[in-house]
Amino acid sequence: FRLIQVSRAVGIKTYFVASWKKLAWGIVVTAVTFLVLGAQTVSHLINVTLAGREQQLAQATAGKPDSATKTAEETQAEKHSQWIFATNWSLPPEDTAEFIAPCLRGLDTGNPKGPYWGRLGQSEGWEKTHEGFANFRQHTIYLGVMPCAFAVFAVIIALSFRCRKHPHPASSIPERDPFIGLTFFWAAAAVICLLLALGRYAPLYRLFYEIPIMDKVRGPAKFVHLVEISVSVLFALGLTWLIRPVADEDYKRFRLSGRLAMVLATFASATCLGFSLSFNPHAHASTWSLMGIPAGTIQTVLTDLYKGALMRAGWLFALAAAAIGAVALAKPEKRKAFAWASAILVMIVSVFDMAEVGNRFATVDDVAYKYARSPVVDALVKKGKPDGSAYSYLQLTNQLLPGNVPFLDAIGTAGIACLDPQAGNDQSADSVKAYLAFEKDIVKRWKYWGAAIVLAPPSVAAEMARSGLATLTGLYDIDQRRMQLVTPASMQKAQVATVAPQSMIPSVAVFHGWRTAAPEKALSVLAETSFDMDQQIVVSGEGLTDTDTSEKHTPASWVKAPSDTRGNRAIIHVQTDKPGLLFMRDYVMREFKTVATVNGKKAPV
């Protein structure tokens, strides 16, 4: 659109002759940027997202007749199901009131501070069958009163100033103001995207749906994001129209436009205030009860949110009317001062207004416990960097611990991974697969993980120490208030013990023997009774054959450990006089380059 604007202003041929080099470089930069940043996104869209949509559609029509045997009614029903699938989360027309009245119908679905009670995300036919979702929303669609008011002001000004003289006093040649075209462009974008956001509630989306691939797009309400962008630009244009110089011959036109915008904002203010004062919560009580929202405090909160949203909109529209009116009615010599004062006031109010609404949807996630000092970590770090190390716990309670127990998180944050099954893991989780494979041989499980430490009840730890499986390294209590491991009040009554398993495989080592197996068979090979994890590893790949040996692995060492790389290089050094494969256990959740030297010479990784 800007290209068309510029070329029209100076002539298409003249523009392209003068600017072809810039355009060529622009195309090159765009292409490179797309290849670097966009290609992966598009690839994911085609290969993952669209494939996922096809799978969802297939599941939605599972058990239904094949196309060849379907009746006309069944074919029509399937098409309708696909249409409903695509247009779920269409924006209900009544929800557009929230563009100016924040959280009019509650916050988000299920929020105890004010559950959303609108229709966004509602399953088809819910009002009759009460099956599926009553609604599902986790966000606000508030655009802001000031942005909306000044967007309308920008459109009014653009309609009035379709042709104006060049603002420079020396020029008397009328020319088209580029701001007028920009205003119309973004106003059209806002309207079209709003119609698309309405989805099944507006006819335009049916045309969009018929475009190839677009029938796989779900959630038309996402087009509200483009409405947000459009209104934001129009807001900026409105403020710019407010503060930019106006030629003497255009001043009357500007004043009339400002007065019209002031009248519309005043009318909007009065309307919002009127609806706020006349709101009757009893008319909606049955809807609230139907959605499972109990009478009493919560319904009172919803009433306050509704009335407060409209009251807020009313007063902000009144402020917008005052800001526009102050400039439109000001004398020419004072207009500039009024314009800048009004623009600054409007921007400050907008920032605080949007921030306050956004803050309603911000939740505090205190992660300080993840970085709390852990005596277990202190003890491990004294022995060296924990790269490639794991810890395990043996039923510290009578059930599987969830993955967010603070003292476990504090250990994990230090780079010591826990690969035990945890509450919520399903059968496909690697931790569950390893647990089941080594169920009869806990030592192999520890070797497989590279366990540097095991947490266990003191009685279990003492038994492991007596049997020679592990060495007792520490005793701790659990601070119930902070759920952190602390020094025990009494060594005889400690709640948690730590042990170091014996004969663990280091995080880097050279193995001189190996067995080949497909990745899905690796765990079962490792779990075989005859398989010695100190002598062999399991490898997958072409051109490899089994190699038996009685030689134990040769420990290697980190010259520069992953925890020291900060995203650069990790360096391994190996000293060995026998051929083998270099084994590295890596739990670092980021990419880093690994460099290995064997007997002083660089080796392939």
| Secondary structure (DSSP) of 10-53 | H-HHHHHHHHHHHHHHHHHHHHHHIIIIIHHHHHHIIIIIHHHH
pLDDT band with cut points at 50, 70 and 90 for residue 41? confident
At residue 417, the pLDDT reads 81
Q: What is the average pLDDT score of the chain?
A: 87
Residue-wise pLDDT for 180-192, tens only, equals: 989 999 999 999 9
Cα distance between residue 92 and residue 101, in whole Å: 15
3-state helix, strand, coil in the chain (%, to 5): 55, 10, 35
Instruction: Read off the pTM.
Output: 0.68
Do residues 324 and 262 touch, judged by C-beta distance below 8 A? yes
Q: Name which residue leads in pLDDT, 99 or 164.
A: 99
Residue-wise pLDDT for 395-430, tens only, equals: 776 655 555 677 888 888 887 888 788 777 778 888
Cα distance between residue 157 and residue 149, in whole Å: 12
Q: What are the backbone angles phi and psi of residue 531, rounded to the nearest 5°?
A: -80, 125
pLDDT band with cut points at 50, 70 and 90 for residue 59? low
In this prediction, residues 278-287 reach a mean pLDDT of 91
Q: What are the backbone angles phi and psi of residue 542, rounded to the nearest 5°?
A: -80, 150
pLDDT band with cut points at 50, 70 and 90 for residue 53? confident
Model confidence at 163: pLDDT above 60: no
At residue 82, the pLDDT reads 84
Q: Hey, what amino acid is at 101?
A: A
CB atoms within 10 A of CB 192: 16
pLDDT band with cut points at 50, 70 and 90 for residue 265? very high
pLDDT band with cut points at 50, 70 and 90 for residue 174? very low
Residue 210 makes CB contacts below 8 A (sequence gap 6+) with: none
CB crowding 515-541: b at 16 or more within 10 Å, else e: bbbeeeebbebbbeeeeebebbbbbee
At residue 427, the pLDDT reads 80
Share of the chain above pLDDT 70, in %: 93
At residue 412, the pLDDT reads 81
